[in-house]
Structures are given as structure tokens and as C-alpha cells.
Structure 1
Amino acid sequence: MSIDLKNIKVIGFDADDTLWVNETYFRAAEQEFAKLLSQFETPNKIDQELYKMEIKNLPLYGYGVKGFMLSMVEIALELSNYSLSNKTLEKILDIGKDMINKPVELLDDVEEVLQKLSRKYKLIVATKGDLLDQERKLEKSGLLKYFHHIEVLSEKESTNYGKLLSHLEIMPSEFLMIGNSLKSDILPLIEIGAQAAHIPFHTTWQHETVEYSNSNGKNYLTLDALKDIYTYLPKKFKV
């Protein structure tokens, strides 16, 4: 499949680490969490066990800060042999609350690009995470006015994307997805015949990484920055 955007009618955007900073806050929270539990384990061990707990809990809590908070509490109790003080538990919850209350830090040129693209294309957000938290971030971002539709998916798999495109009443060839995760934003779209553009972010959650062999040979765009998408749009698109 060649990279051809002339038939694109709808452009989808991932939210976290595509429109605004997100994973950076999780890394900082993990470091703070490790300090709180330093009397029980090494930072590396705490990080490993927390990740295992997050993956174990994904079917129960899904993605987002709230599930992360619950996983922190659960693994803290285990690592401390259930001797954790109420004060430390409170501090763990405060880590999560602080994440939720973070200001939304837009990535470079995001609003300018959305403003220009929205003149010709229907724009949507297709993201994972907690519905309330993602709605809150979209409201804080000031970007809601550019989007026709917001979709919070439990998982970003080809079947779920297919249902989304059916809802939008478009063919896969008429859809372009832009995101930072090869696993969630790119490969599932390629599988169903849509177009995709990957914008790597400097920090990626371990669960979102893929082996090179899994993406080798797949045809998608790789951009250094969001505004680079202009280069691949039809010449009739004026920026």
C-alpha cells in the first residue's frame, strides 16, 4: 500500500503525547512513588513490580491515571508486606491527584495545525484512557472546537477502529490516523487499509513498544513534527 492522502476525508488524532504531554508525568510519578517505598525495595524492583501490576489490572481498570493510582496502592501494600502507613497511602493518592490536576501542555504547533486542517478535513480524537480524565484534558486544552467527534476506546485494535470508521460512514482509505504509538495508532490502521502517520515521542510506556520486526515492511509515514503532515497532503490543500 502506497502513501496516498488524496482521498482522505477524516483525520484522527491520538491525544496523549500526540496533542499534549502525558507520559512524562507518569515517569515523574513513578520516580516519586519509588522514593516513597525506598525502605522496602530498590527503585528498579519497584518500577518492575508496578508495571506488572498495571498490566495485570488493565482488564479491570483500563488505561489512565485512576487505574495507575490503584495499581500503585496495591503494589505498595504487597511490597511493604501490608505494613504501609496511612500517611504513605495518602501520599500515593496525592501523586495521582497531582497528575489529574496537571495543566495541559500542548505539543509544538498543535493548535495551528488543527486550525488549518479543520478548514478542509473532518477531525476526530481517537484515544485510550479514562473517559472523564480525557474529557477534562480536552476541555482544558482549548482544542475541542476543532473536533467533530471524540472517541475513547477501551483498546486500540483493528476491530475497534473498524467500528469507528463504520460509525463515521467512511472507507478505510478515507481515514488518516496520526499518533505517537506504533502499537496503538499505526499498525492497527494499516491492517484495515487506512493511512497512518507516526510522530515518535521521546518517552514511551513499555506496554506501547513493539519489536522492529513487527513493524518492518508496514507502509506508514514517520514525521519529525506534526506540521510535517502538510508535505504529504494534496497540493490543493493550502497552509
Structure 2
Amino acid sequence: MTLTTIGFDADDTLWHNERFFRLTQARFHDLLADHAPADHLEERLLAAERRNVGHYGFGVKGFTLSMIETAIEVSEAQVPASVIAEIMAAGREMLAHPIELLPHARATVEALSGQYRLVLVTKGDLLDQERKLAQSGLGELFDAIEIVSDKRAETYQTVFARHGTGATEGLMVGNSLKSDVLPMIEAGGWGVYVPHGLTWALEHADPPLGHPRFAELPDLSGLEALVTSIGRARKSE
């Protein structure tokens, strides 16, 4: 038993993402200020996102459609067409926003590339995720790219069997306990949590404190040392 394959989440693990959603949501609040207070809008929008994620998937397009749906609901179908147009424009701006890598992302991926099989495992809109990966300049460092509709234990079992030696010999690192850590541990692998600071409400979960295959790092700079220590510990078992 050894550690052969490392999976990386993309959004808010390798590059900024959630903060653009927050900025757009603040703009949405301003556009609908005459129809509902900000806290009520936030609740209604989150409810719409929860309803719609199974239909539209994760990412900017589903978020934009949920904003439009919420605008129609809170205005009792009286929202002006100009406001709908501005919401759509905000969504297009998000889809064109330049990528900004998080600290230590490039150095960490470069350090681990060649030592382990590296797999990018990200969920969201296919075209948008491909665009962000291309702009990041990190694509050639990965042995495989998986853009998935959701992240469950079965997802990681399939991905790590396809591109590695199975989930039990794999590690997944990401900023979401719900999507990156808990299902990977359920699949039999390591889950490494790297908090981002801004996390979508639907990604919140409790950490599996005390689990032997759970680790938390303040940022990506400590990942290489952690991976090395896991490898040594497993060789000594």
C-alpha cells in the first residue's frame, strides 16, 4: 500500500472563484433593492440554487438562472426586462473573468508533478472550467482532467481507478469538506482540507476530526511535506 495519486480541486483551491460570486450577488441585491431587503434576497436565492443544482448543475450558468428566477419571484413577476438583462450581463462577466491563482498553487503542483499522478477533479460548467484551466497555465502539469457533475464517493472511486491505482492509494485536496474531503474518505482515500475563507453555503459540512485519513492545512505550501509524511507512514505499516 502506498500513495500514488493526488487529486486537486480547482475553484478556491488552485484559483479564486467564490469571491466573484459574492461580488455578483451584491450587485444582484442592488438591482432588486426596491423589491426585497438583502437578507431576504439572499435566502430566496440560496433556496433557488438548492432547488436548481440538480437541474442546471454547478457553476455560473446555474447561478445566473437562479438569480433570474429569484428576481421574478420576489417582484411577483414585475421585474423589468432591463434588470433581467443586467443579471445576464453579470453572468457573462463572471464567465470572462481572468483567473488569479491562489498562493502556493503553482509551486505545489509543480513540486508534486512527476512524483505522483496528478488529477484535477472539478465540478461545474464544462466550457467555463476548461477556460479557467487553460488560463491558469497549470493544465500540462496534470496527468488527467476530470470535470464531473458532482463529487460523491462513487465519483472518486471511478476517477482514481481510471487514472491511478484506486482511491485507497489516493489523496484529494480541496477547500470543500462536503465535496472534496468527506466523499474521498468514504471512498477509502485521504481527504486534505485547505480552507479558503469564502465557502458557498451549500458546501458547508463538519470536519471528520480524529479520522486517520483526514488532514487540514492552512494553505497549499504544506501539502508536499504532508504527502511525504503519509507515504513514509504507510511504508512503515
- Identify the residue that residue 188 of structure 2 maps to in structure 1: 193
Find the partner of 2:116 among 80, 96, 121: 121
Q: Is the 8 A contact 1:40 1:79 kept in 2?
A: yes
Amino acid at match of 1:22: N
Residues 1-239 of structure 1 aligned to structure 2 (within 5 Å): 7-211=2-206, 215-219=208-212, 220-234=214-228
Mapped partners of 1:230, 1:59: distance in 2 = 35
Stretches of structure 2 that go unaligned for 5 or more consecutive residues are 232-237
- Tell me the secondary structure at the aligned position of residue 234 of structure 1: helix
189-198 or 165-174: bigger deviation:
165-174
The two structures have a TM-score, normalised by structure 2, of 0.92
Mapped partners of 1:40, 1:100: distance in 2 = 27
Stretches of structure 1 that go unaligned for 5 or more consecutive residues are 1-5
The two structures have a TM-score, normalised by structure 1, of 0.92
- Tell me the secondary structure at the aligned position of residue 41 of structure 2: helix
User: What's the CA shift for 1:36?
Assistant: 0.2
Q: Is the 8 A contact 1:113 1:226 kept in 2?
A: yes
Residue deviations 1:30-83 (CA, integer Å, cap 9, x gap): 111011000000000001000000110111100000000111111101111111
Alignment root-mean-square deviation, CA: 1.5
Q: How many residues align?
A: 229
Mapped partners of 1:234, 1:185: distance in 2 = 20
Mapped partners of 1:25, 1:169: distance in 2 = 33
Counting aligned pairs with the same residue, the percent is: 38
Q: Is the 8 A contact 2:5 2:164 kept in 1?
A: no
- Tell me the secondary structure at the aligned position of residue 119 of structure 2: strand
Mapped partners of 1:169, 1:14: distance in 2 = 16
Mapped partners of 1:105, 1:166: distance in 2 = 31
- Tell me the secondary structure at the aligned position of residue 233 of structure 1: helix
